[in-house]
Structure 1
Amino acid sequence: MSVRTIRGNLLFWKIATVFSVLLIILGIVFVLIASKLSRSYYTMAHQELYGNVASHLASFTHPLKNGQPDTTVTHDIIHSIMVANPSVEVYLLDTTGKITDYVVPDKSVQNHQVDISKVKQWLAVKNGERPLGDNPKQPDEPGIFSAAPVYENGQLTGYVYAVLASEKQREILTTLNSHLYYCLGMYIFFCALGIAFIVGVITFFLITNSICDIAMVVRRFKEGDYSALIEGHAKGNLGMLTSTFNEMADVIVDNFDKISATDKFRQELIANVSHDLRTPLSIMQGYVETLMIKKDSLAEPEKNKYLSVVLDSSKKLSVLVEQLFQYAKLEANQVNPEKEQFLLSELASDILMAYQLKAKEKGISLNLNTEGNLPLVFADIALTERVLQNLIDNSFKFTSEGGSITIQLQQTSAGVKVEVADTGIGIAPEDQTYIFERYKYLHKDGLPKKGMGIGLAIAKKILELHQSSIQVNSAPGKGAAFWFVLPAVAGVGM
């Protein structure tokens, strides 16, 4: 037997047990209520059926003569009534409630006085519920009774007092109630057991059917079907289980997508790094081998030329490795901007000064256009410098001799706008969507692929750390302009 079957059986028996106990409790309560109502019903019925016994005795037998019981007349009649109806016990009372005569064993009568106020209260009630009175045989247990006044010559001389619920009646009722309890208990027990079984089976199948559906979806998800989700909008605990699993599945699928994207990035990284590092390494290796082979036959100018090529390749290699580490740190969220207030115009001027020699060698002019009284910006100086350097390096790659690169600084409502524009080959509209992605190259006819393709991606990542974004305006043959906005320090200008 499987664990799932055992758990299902346990669930079934738990449900069946709960319903059985509940129905048995309800059955016991029903028996108690039914017994109480039956006794109340019997009492009321007995009162209505035999409530006129005392009145008949008082009217037709004349039980009192000269205020004393006429035993010769009444005993036979009273005894006949008690034989015909054993539940009736008849007593004769004087006007104070004292018992003057009765036809029962003397030893069984424990109280020879009846509360006369109850008798008068009983006689005053014409219709409705009558009060309970004293039972001479059992003083502590009030019972139903019938009473009638006895008159002689128009004067009240006593009362006929008939107890309608006698000791004999109590014995009979006790026996009948015991039988009633037994029968009701047996019927209710078996009915409760049957109903609990039926309800338990139905509930078990309704619950386990939903659980089985959920288990099938979970199994499909476990086996690799990540599109498997639990359908339906159930309420309660199953609804919570459904929504929790679906949310968990979405998170897992999202994590799988991220892991897949990271793995794809790793493969691309290895392929691109191996390709881009191979070029400078190959150049360095070739020239070093040439120097070693021809070290005695090479003239000094040629040696210096070979060494300058090796140095240039090593610098390129260093830049590539540095860019690689920089982007890896940005991807891993290991870069935290250390923001401070500074002037963008001073930073841009220093950067352009550092590129003057390179611009002179390539015949490219560098320009800085800035408005007066620009406010201070609040950003990380080193990271902002890296963004400008990457944009300028990108412009150098695609700007031919005689062209120009311009940094434009302008105050806007959002802060200070920084624009790096060139007169290079430009970027086609269909390529502008991809230029900020890592390792994306623009393939131009006759133009060799340059760099690792992550300079613009690094710039984009850095600006995202400053809650900013980089934009591009360009067209083929009309150069390119990259711009972004850094937040200004309110109320501060230079």
Structure 2
Amino acid sequence: MNLSLYQKLASSLVIIFCFICALVYGWSKQLERTSKHHGEQNLHLQLAEHLVQDNPLLQQGIYDYQALENLFHTLMLLGPAFEFYFVDPQGAILTYSAEPGKVKRDHINLTPLKRLILDRTLTPLYGDDPRDPSRQKIFSVAPVYNQDVLQGYLYVIIGGEAYDTTLNTIKANDNVWIAGLWLAGALLFLLIALLILFRFFTAPIKKLATEVSMIEAANYSLVDNQLSSYSNKNNEVDSLGRSIQAMLTRIDEQFKALAQSDKQRRELLTHLSHDLRTPLASVQGFLEVLSQPHRQLSEQERQHYLSVSSDNCQQLKLLIEQIFELANLENGQMRVHTETFNLGELIYDCVAKFCVAADNKGVTLRVEPVICDFTVVADIAKLERVISNLIDNAIRHTPKGGKIIVQVQQADAEQLYVDISDTGVGIQQDELIAIFEPHYQASNSNTVGHQQGGLGLAICKGLLQLMNSEIKVRSELGKGSQFSFNLPKKTKA
């Protein structure tokens, strides 16, 4: 059976409350009984001794048991709270005054009697009740001698059967019951008040659990389900509510991010499959033409087909390398190996690789300042990849007669900025952020003669992030673009 938190707390409270009430009641009754017996036994402690000293039958040590029984009967009429017994030195009950069948014992244990005779401070001390084999009662006792010879003991039960019967009748009186009912009512009121308080304190937790269950049933979607607003109180429930709200909001954001990422990956796969299919289809077509024996191709045509097929293979190789490089960046498998080197030498090496391509297109490519002597700390291989990608993009988007400038500027004593600017077609303002997404191609993309995968800028951004650098872009449509990133400068010792 599944119980709510309130039901568990309420059940536990009722059980503990009943146990405590029973414990307190039993303890109080025991304390009351012990105190009552202590007082009564001390009050009548010398009763038996006085009877032995004052009564001629007991003083002479000559026992007329019938006369002694009559004496006990008279004394019990005068003191109904007492029962009188005469026992021999072995504990056998010799005489008493009681109706036939009332006395159930014929022997009693003398140990408590002897202990009380030796030490009167042991009260309350209990002896056997001759009328009930399973019960013990307080008593008064005195030894009876005849010329220094022990004849037996006068054994007086304090609070006899008649006394107990009368006392129980009094306890059954209406006033006692009314007092008991008032006490029970007070305890019941306290229990109900505590249950209401528990209900009040656990209601927010129950409400929070219900709302979380509804959100869980909705697959943690916060579109149609929201947690109630929780105040800035410093109690545990409000703090828990705020924490759960923050956690659910974070989960919802992650779900949306995963959905968006999945959508982007699907789009990326679609684009990549198209990019891979186009050069593959071209290579396959040319190879089929070259492999047909009945086709009579001139040497010039054959070389053209082979050249185009080779270009497509190179493009395929470049695209696949970019795909693996981007995947390694996203998975965090790429590591940075920093070293100190001259930035100017690296830039001139990169520029030298593209001089022929720039001259063939009629684009001017230069470095500023010409004497570029700066020492930096970075990963030289990854930085070369970034600069090469940016220069290659600039050449493809800059028309004949344009110019590309690779400029190094010192921002402060610790940072350098590398700017690669061109006078090309530029980029629309609403596309400046999106161009760094994988496989995004701006509307001004120039893919004449090359099938571009749209991964170059995404790779540049990822590589620079590994080196704790950030790439920025400024562009104006029809006037050109400028890509900038920072590098830590090597300070002189």
Structure 2 length-normalised TM: 0.64
Rounded Cα–Cα distance in structure 2 between residues aligned with 1:417 and 1:445: 26
Does 2:193 match 1:199?
A: yes
Rounded Cα–Cα distance in structure 1 between residues aligned with 2:120 and 2:210: 74
Matched residue SS, 2:215: helix
Matched residue SS, 1:489: coil
Name 2:92's counterpart in structure 1. Answer: none
Does 2:221 match 1:226?
A: yes
- Which residues of 2 match residues 422-437 of structure 1 at below 5 A? 422-437=422-437
Rounded Cα–Cα distance in structure 1 between residues aligned with 2:445 and 2:6: 71
C-alpha displacement of 1:248: 3.3
The one-letter code of the counterpart of 2:214 is R
Contact kept in structure 1, 2:415 and 2:488, CA below 8 Å: yes
Change (3 A) 1:331 1:402: same
Does 2:11 match 1:13?
A: yes
The one-letter code of the counterpart of 1:216 is T
The one-character-per-residue Cα deviations of 1:265-320 (angstroms, maximum 9, x if unpaired) are: 22011111012222212221222222223664001111011100000111111111
**Farther off after superposition, 25-34 or 220-229:** 25-34
Rounded Cα–Cα distance in structure 2 between residues aligned with 1:349 and 1:468: 21
Rounded Cα–Cα distance in structure 2 between residues aligned with 1:338 and 1:345: 19
Matched residue SS, 2:442: coil
C-alpha displacement of 1:19: 3.8
Matched residue SS, 1:4: coil
Name 2:339's counterpart in structure 1. Answer: 340
Gap regions ≥5 residues in structure 2: 37-118, 123-157
Matched residue SS, 1:283: helix
Contact kept in structure 2, 1:421 and 1:479, CA below 8 Å: yes
The one-letter code of the counterpart of 2:439 is Y
Does 2:207 match 1:213?
A: yes
Name 1:388's counterpart in structure 2. Answer: 387
Change (3 A) 1:300 1:9: same
Matched residue SS, 1:264: helix
C-alpha displacement of 1:217: 1.2
Matched residue SS, 1:490: coil
Contact kept in structure 1, 2:6 and 2:199, CA below 8 Å: no
Contact kept in structure 1, 2:354 and 2:392, CA below 8 Å: no
**Farther off after superposition, 295-304 or 478-487:** 295-304
Change (3 A) 1:467 1:219: same
Does 2:404 match 1:405?
A: yes
Rounded Cα–Cα distance in structure 2 between residues aligned with 1:229 and 1:331: 33
The one-letter code of the counterpart of 1:4 is N
The one-character-per-residue Cα deviations of 1:322-355 (angstroms, maximum 9, x if unpaired) are: 1111112112222221111111111111111122
Name 1:245's counterpart in structure 2. Answer: 244
The one-character-per-residue Cα deviations of 1:27-57 (angstroms, maximum 9, x if unpaired) are: 7899999999x9xxxxxxxxxxxxxxxxxxx
Change (3 A) 1:417 1:22: same
The one-letter code of the counterpart of 1:11 is L
Name 1:480's counterpart in structure 2. Answer: 481
- Which residues of 2 match residues 354-393 of structure 1 at below 5 A? 354-370=353-369, 372=371, 374-393=373-392
Contact kept in structure 2, 1:342 and 1:377, CA below 8 Å: yes
Structure 1 length-normalised TM: 0.64
Name 1:489's counterpart in structure 2. Answer: 490
- Which residues of 2 match residues 92-131 of structure 1 at below 5 A? none
Rounded Cα–Cα distance in structure 2 between residues aligned with 1:29 and 1:454: 85
Rounded Cα–Cα distance in structure 2 between residues aligned with 1:472 and 1:373: 22
Contact kept in structure 2, 1:17 and 1:196, CA below 8 Å: no
Rounded Cα–Cα distance in structure 2 between residues aligned with 1:446 and 1:334: 32
The one-letter code of the counterpart of 1:430 is D
Matched residue SS, 1:355: helix
Contact kept in structure 2, 1:27 and 1:188, CA below 8 Å: no
The one-character-per-residue Cα deviations of 1:358-377 (angstroms, maximum 9, x if unpaired) are: 22332223212236574421
Matched residue SS, 1:440: coil
Change (3 A) 1:240 1:476: closer
C-alpha displacement of 1:356: 2.1
C-alpha displacement of 1:261: 2.5
C-alpha displacement of 1:219: 2.1
Contact kept in structure 2, 1:421 and 1:482, CA below 8 Å: yes
Rounded Cα–Cα distance in structure 1 between residues aligned with 2:356 and 2:409: 26
The one-character-per-residue Cα deviations of 1:451-480 (angstroms, maximum 9, x if unpaired) are: 222211211111122222111222122221
How many residue pairs end up in the alignment?
377
Name 1:461's counterpart in structure 2. Answer: 462
The one-character-per-residue Cα deviations of 1:412-448 (angstroms, maximum 9, x if unpaired) are: 2142211111121122323223222222222249986
